[in-house]
Structure 1
Amino acid sequence: MASQAPNSLPLLYNDLQPLNRNAHGNYKVRRMSGHPQIGKTHAVPVTVDEFAIAQRHFPIVFSAGDQPVPIALMGLHEDTNTFFDESGQLTEPNVYLPAYLRRYPFVLARLRPDSDELSLCFDPSADAVGEFDEGEALFDGDQPTEATNAILKFCEQFEEAGQRTQAFMTELKESGLLMDGEVAIQPEGVEQPFIYRGFQMVDEEKFRNLTGDKLRKLNQNGALPLIFSHLFSLSVIREVFGRQVAQGTGPNRVQQPATVEA
């Protein structure tokens, strides 16, 4: 495998090292005790493979910009996560955990810009990979163990889901269905609603007016159920808002427009 890390790092990753038997022959992988950065991360990428289950727990919206990606909102303000505590521990065992978080601290990364080869890498700052007494070995002599092969397979499946997600986003953009998002929440006893912006969503009016070939194409490509999952999930924004209020991380009672940045 290549020996240098990429210049840009994915969300939550502080560093990347390519996994290889020479440098990491004695390393083991163990369950993470927590990741404080997750507790301060309010939006996590999700793939289209996860829409059906993720929409039951999180609002699924699309990041702003020319290359939007689907994101699950775990909080409505930066540095706020209503599902993880400050130490990065999941506070509700039954909530769905997005594959992006389950993949950490591993990732398939392109280490050289002139090569399409992806290498299995890990974040050495995580407490999950190292020369521990406990955990599962990553190598058995010169060969990767079953644990390493399982990690590699999961990362490969995530990359494949990512390609399907890119295709879906291209379909949305070409169909002209994306618009700047805005959600207003009017709590009882508050004169003015709290406004959340800074993301994209499907334009329901344009979606309802689709006919003929455009609608048929979305159906044939499997995009329709994904769009419905996204739209259904928007109602969960109120639940996340309520969680923030209950946890003391909600907005002030004085009206101040808020922005969801992703």
Structure 2
Amino acid sequence: MATAPKNNGLPLFYNQLEPLSSQQHANYKVRVADRAPFLVNEHAVPVTVEEFPLVQRRMPIVFSVGEDPVPLALMGLNEGVNTFIDADGRLIDPEVYVPAYVRRYPYMLARLRPDSEDLSLCFDPTADTIGEFEDGEPLFDGTEPSETTKQILQFNEQFEQAGQRTAMFMKEVKDLGLLIDGEVSIQPDGAEQPFIYRGFQMVDEKKLNELRGDQLRKIQQNGMLPLLYAHIFSLSLMRDLFARQVRAGMIAAQPTA
């Protein structure tokens, strides 16, 4: 059900990656996007720990499977299903919180050389919001970055820092042994068999409650505890998400046992 960012050398959403340059992109402009077509068929989006309190109001938060799990906001329970976006990529409810990972696209900070720690602002040239347009905000003022570019850079720097804090959070969760394989069973009225969803990880509340006193004090003091409970509370939205799919006619064939 829940998957980590695609493993083809580029993160989720990105088709190509090109460093932003005042020489090559001197005439490039940015257009305001009112839709996100790249999100239409995505059911799970990475989120940072700072976003847990906002995301958990409307979307379940789970963790991807594998050795390096990441937090994911579920926008659908099945691959290819997004109940928050219409077919054109527009938000069905404009008041829904949009994760920073989505708002960051088509930009990201990346290392241009594996032997360097320096990060450069890059973008996906296949995106329809950046290019040599007649309208839009310019990315450069002569050879210098424009105010728009400076704001984009600042947002990406903040996102990178949030990503590092999220990685530290996940390491602590793994070290404490709190993650277990998740499973949700939903029995709709009139259905012969329940719909069972797997393929994600979740925090075991029993293990959390059994932590030693020193471990519990540590996660209270470092701010992890409320984030863990935000995740746990958000799991109750699985059934709401199922209901959204039912109303939209997006329920996949009933799985077999």
- State the TM-score, normalizing by the size of structure 1: 0.92
Instruction: Report if the CA contact (8 A) 1:181-1:199 is conserved.
Output: yes
After superposition, residues 220-239 of structure 1 pair within 5 angstroms as: 220-239=221-240
- Residues 60-87 of structure 1, C-alpha deviations (whole Å, 9 max, x = no match): 0000001000000001111111111233
Q: Distance in 1 between matches of 2:147 and 2:115?
A: 31
Q: Which runs of 4+ in 1 moved over 6 A?
A: none
Query: What percent identity do the matched residue pairs reach?
Result: 61
After superposition, residues 2-81 of structure 1 pair within 5 angstroms as: 8-81=9-82
Q: Distance in 2 between matches of 1:178 and 1:201?
A: 5
How far 1:33 moved relative to its partner?
Answer: 4.9
Match of 1:155 in 2: 156
Q: Distance in 2 between matches of 1:221 and 1:170?
A: 14
How far 1:251 moved relative to its partner?
Answer: 3.0
Q: Distance in 1 between matches of 2:137 and 2:252?
A: 44
Counterpart AA for 1:62? F
| 2:155 partner SS | helix
Match of 1:206 in 2: 207
Q: Distance in 1 between matches of 2:77 and 2:112?
A: 34
Q: Distance in 2 between matches of 1:241 and 1:34?
A: 24
Q: Distance in 1 between matches of 2:86 and 2:14?
A: 19
Gaps (5+ residues) in structure 1? 1-6, 258-262
| 1:165 partner SS | helix
C-alpha RMSD of matched pairs (Å): 1.3
Counterpart AA for 2:133? F
| 1:21 partner SS | coil
Cα 1:43–1:123 change in 2 (3 A) is same
How far 1:189 moved relative to its partner?
Answer: 1.8
Counterpart AA for 2:199? G
After superposition, residues 64-143 of structure 1 pair within 5 angstroms as: 64-143=65-144
Q: Distance in 1 between matches of 2:22 and 2:69?
A: 37
Q: Distance in 1 between matches of 2:107 and 2:256?
A: 39
Q: Distance in 1 between matches of 2:201 and 2:182?
A: 5
- Residues 176-195 of structure 1, C-alpha deviations (whole Å, 9 max, x = no match): 10001111111122232111
Query: Which 10-residue stretch deviates more, 25-34 or 140-149?
Result: 25-34
Instruction: Report if the CA contact (8 A) 1:33-1:127 is conserved.
Output: no
Residue 256 (structure 2) pairs with residue 256 (structure 1):
yes
Gaps (5+ residues) in structure 2? 1-7
How far 1:198 moved relative to its partner?
Answer: 0.4
- Residues 207-261 of structure 1, C-alpha deviations (whole Å, 9 max, x = no match): 1112311111111221101101000100111111111111111133x4436xxxx
Q: Distance in 2 between matches of 1:61 and 1:172?
A: 13
Match of 1:4 in 2: none
Q: Distance in 2 between matches of 1:240 and 1:118?
A: 37
Match of 2:181 in 1: 180
Match of 1:260 in 2: none
After superposition, residues 233-248 of structure 1 pair within 5 angstroms as: 233-248=234-249
Instruction: Report if the CA contact (8 A) 1:245-1:251 is conserved.
Output: no
Q: Distance in 2 between matches of 1:185 and 1:137?
A: 50
Residue 197 (structure 2) pairs with residue 196 (structure 1):
yes
